[in-house]
Amino acid sequence: MNLTSDNSITWRYAKQQVFFNIVRLAALLISAALGGLLLFIIASGIQAISWDFITLPPRDSMTKGGIMPAIVGTFYLTLGAIAIALPLGVASAIYLSEYARQGTIVRIIRIGVNCLAGVPSVVFGLFGLGFFVVYLKFGSSILSGALTLGILILPTIIGASEEALKAVPQTFREASLALGVSKWGTILRIVLPNALPGILTGSILGIGRAAGETAPIMFTAAAFFTAKLPESIFDEVMALPYHVYVLATAGTHIEETRSIQYGTVLVLVALVLGIDLIAIAIRSAMRKRKKW
Amino acid sequence: MAATRQRKEQAIQMLFFLFAAFSIVLLALILIFLFREGLPIFKTVTPIDFIFGKFWYPTYEPPEYGIWPLIVGSLVVTFIASAIAVPLGVLSAVYISEIAPASIKEILKSVIELIAGIPSVVLGFFGMVILAPWMQETFDLPTGLNIMNASLVLALMAVPTISSISEDALYAVPNEFKEASYALGATKYETIVKVIIPAALSGISTAVILGMARAIGETMVVLMVAGGAAAIPESLFDSVRPMPASIAAEMGEAPFRSGHYHALFATGIVLFFLTLAFNLLADYISNRFKEVGSATL
């Protein structure tokens, strides 16, 4: 046998080594991209951060001062979005996981949820403008923005909740049903409590997503600048992602406000990734503690 | 007694069905309102001229509503972004699922999840303040806001989608396949390339399509770094105006229910159906070739 032929063991392992290194390189590149990005965000944003930056409104045509109204606005929008999406999403997931039998209707609902998940965020923005702002006459407001964001994160919540419900062992349900508890009673007292951590994780990820979205609120809720904090759900608000966008692209003070832009980016990223990390931590704690 | 209970149970089931069906209602509402605000443009321009018209001058007098340059812009950045993101996403999925030690695996999965979590406006900002000046200087360009810049940033956004769905597909390949391959004397590399990846191919294809759908619909990145020129590009360093960018940038200035306003909604319709096609294709592939396992051999 010729040891230098294509089939020699040495040659085959050499190929393997090359392949493994390429694959490692890909993983390394991705990690480096995240690392570099976070490093840049922290390094350039940290000097802008101060107590005043977080607690004061902007002044001097937004070239000085803080970003407090944008933080408050993002908080209201996100809270509204989750208040809308959570009940709807969990109820949909209960139907899909507990009641639905495989068939055409369920198949259609599933395709619908998948398609909804794939709708581009700017199209949600157009829909929010056409439906909530114009047709229902909510105007550009917290209400319109929160409804639009709520629809945007609905598929995320449905997906996560369904997965959490499916992870509850079938034996739990059978034991409850065997004791004479009705199906609804079983879902309410046995299935839902056991699925709660998973549902929670999904909702937190949804919150993170809603807090960081810009395109859906551009035409439905976000204001360039508001002098005072919102007093009702029909008021326009400032929001962190939109604030980054307008400061970086519009107006005559782009260079002057660089440090405010960096600071806002840092606050936004810390907020969103902080929320995501909480979800990841809950999930891994849950995996370790799982009783079944 | 038993009958009342049964009726109550049925009512509850019906209620939950209505909640689940709400997603379909929403999808229908989205379509209805896109059409309501978008279709009036076709009184002034035919659908063919709208889609294939080469000039997008919505504010000129008379205005020209041809979105072909915007469609080309969207497709170009999406394909170049995919060319970068597909190898990175699939290879990282192979690493996570087949090669990495357990500890590194967990870290990498979190890394990918965190990338997915970074708000798009932040990535767009990064492209504007870091990549653009660097590109302009390095390649001596008139502007750093161009196809290449947008594609690089979009690729980073698409990697998490491609990687996590591919990884699920690789993970789902039955262990017997691997064991059989090893038993025949194959190396790990040969097993991965000739057995595991082919067995997971439908899942990987789904991942790629969903990654592309994500890139084509992404707004903030192309709004901030693609440059914004509504012309058909001739080089990778030309600036473009993809559909989402055009909608987001111009909607604020378009007078309410003007031709321009309707044209932007109609652009939204095109974008909606384009991403819908990608998603339905992904759904079809993942269902059509679902049965991986010993039963299918």
Digit-coded pLDDT (tens) for B38-76: 999 999 999 999 999 999 999 888 899 999 999 999 999
Instruction: Look at A120 and B118 and tell me if their CB atoms are within 8 Å.
Output: no
User: Residues of A with CB below 8 A from B112's CB?
Assistant: 30
The pLDDT value given to residue A284:
81
Q: Are residues B96 and B228 in the same domain?
A: yes
- What lies within 8 Å, CB to CB, of A205 at 6+ separation is A156, A160, A275, A276, A279, B117
In angstroms, the separation between the Cα of residue A36 and the nearest Cα of chain B is 11
Flag whether residue A29 sits within 8 Å of chain B, measured between CB atoms: yes
Q: For CA atoms A188, A277, B244, A67, give the dihedral sign.
A: positive
Q: Are residues B72 and B31 in the same domain?
A: no
Token duo for residue B71: 């469609």
* pLDDT surpassing 80 at residue A291: no
Q: Are residues B33 and B79 in the same domain?
A: no
Digit-coded pLDDT (tens) for B202-261: 999 999 999 999 999 999 999 999 998 889 999 999 999 999 999 999 998 899 999 999
Q: Are residues B126 and B38 in the same domain?
A: no
Domain count, chain B: 2
The pLDDT value given to residue A283:
82
Answering whether pTM is above 0.80, one says yes
Q: Which domain holds residue B229?
A: 47-296
Q: Are residues B107 and B165 in the same domain?
A: yes
The pLDDT value given to residue B1:
60
Average pLDDT of the residues of chain B? 92
Q: Are residues B26 and B164 in the same domain?
A: no
Flag whether residue A115 sits within 8 Å of chain B, measured between CB atoms: yes
Nearest to A45 by CA among B144, B91, B129, B77: B129
Place domain A51-289 in its CATH homologous superfamily: MetI-like (1.10.3720.10)
Q: Are residues B38 and B51 in the same domain?
A: no
Task: Say if CB B65 and CB B263 are below 8 A apart.
Answer: yes
Query: In which region does residue A251 sit, left (phi positive, over 0), alpha (psi from -120 to 50) or beta (all else)?
Result: left
Q: What residue of B is the nearest CA neighbor of A100?
A: B17
Token duo for residue B122: 């932040």
Selected residue of B37, B94, B122, B222 to mutate for chain A interface (largest A Cβ count, 10 A): B122
User: Residues of B with CB below 8 A from A255's CB?
Assistant: none
- What lies within 8 Å, CB to CB, of A274 at 6+ separation is none
Of B22, B112, B125, the CB nearest to A244: B125
Is residue B235 packed enough to be buried (19+ CB in 10 Å), middle (13-18) or exposed (0-12)?
exposed
User: Residues of B with CB below 8 A from A258's CB?
Assistant: 129
Cβ neighbours, 10 Å, residue A174: 11
Token duo for residue A68: 């407090």
Q: Are residues B31 and B75 in the same domain?
A: no
Of B113, B219, B278, the CB nearest to A118: B278
Digit-coded pLDDT (tens) for B5-26: 889 989 999 999 999 999 999 9
Q: Are residues B194 and B227 in the same domain?
A: yes
Q: What residue of A is the nearest CA neighbor of B96?
A: A27
Q: Are residues B192 and B216 in the same domain?
A: yes
The pLDDT value given to residue A106:
86
Q: Are residues B53 and B38 in the same domain?
A: no
Task: Say if CB A112 and CB B27 are below 8 A apart.
Answer: yes
Distance CA B143, CA A111 (A): 42
User: Residues of A with CB below 8 A from B190's CB?
Assistant: 12, 16
Task: Say if CB B230 and CB B241 are below 8 A apart.
Answer: yes
Q: What residue of A is the nearest CA neighbor of B161?
A: A118
Q: Are residues B258 and B150 in the same domain?
A: yes
The pLDDT value given to residue A216:
94
The pLDDT value given to residue A218:
93
Digit-coded pLDDT (tens) for A62-83: 778 889 999 999 999 999 999 9
* pLDDT surpassing 50 at residue A1: no
Which domain CATH number covers B91?
Answer: 1.10.3720.10
Q: What residue of B is the nearest CA neighbor of A241?
A: B121
